[in-house]
Amino acid sequence: MDIPRRPGQPHPRLALPKAGLGDDLEAFQHWLQQAIPQVAHLGIQRMGLDGEALEWHLELAPSLNDKGTGFGGAMASQAILIGWCWLTLWLRQQGRAQDVVIADARQRFLAPVSGDYRLRCEPASADGVAALRERLTNRGKGRISLVQHLYCGETLCFEAGGDYAVLPSSPT
């Protein structure tokens, strides 16, 4: 059942998975479309995990600009969102239900996006996950830098990065 969204009212959390993520990506994508209504209009065809990377396959049509190529604002928004999703999914794998926010974002446009594309997100450094895990264990909150790369075919068209913060758990 779809829950209507209202300003100022948080959307209910998706229950944590019983073990790992497995088929959880489909349930997560459905929940995400309800929690953030704009997601239903981004053209996400599918989500997948590849090692430590989260990858989306997107259709271009919903993000066209006046020139018939990808709208930069849409790509920037998608990059921020896939980072938020990466960290939210990682926390779910750890059995942690904590809020995630974007703290800093930057992007670079390298080539026009002229067809359907894929967006990939992963930690910016090899020790990023271990450092985040340690901060969460010791302080209950933490930050991680993530990078996003957008490919149209084999062409790297856009790259972005962001620092994402895991907020302390709220008392229940």
Domains of the chain: 50-166 (3.10.129.10)
The tokens of 61 are what? Answer: 């049509």
pLDDT at 101: 97
The tokens of 131 are what? Answer: 């450092």
Q: What is the pLDDT of residues 51-71, one digit of tens each?
A: 899 999 999 999 999 999 999
Residue 171, pLDDT > 80, answer no
Contact 40, 101 (CB under 8 A): no
What are the φ/ψ torsions at residue 134 (nearest 5 degrees)?
-65, -45
Give the amino acid at 166.
V
pLDDT at 16: 73
Contact 42, 74 (CB under 8 A): yes
Contact 34, 3 (CB under 8 A): yes
Q: What is the pLDDT of residues 1-52, one digit of tens each?
A: 566 677 877 787 777 766 554 557 888 998 999 899 899 999 999 999 988 9
Q: What is the pLDDT of residues 122-162, one digit of tens each?
A: 999 999 999 999 999 999 999 999 999 999 999 999 999 99
Q: What is the pLDDT of residues 77-96, one digit of tens each?
A: 999 999 999 999 999 889 89
pLDDT at 77: 96
pTM value is: 0.91
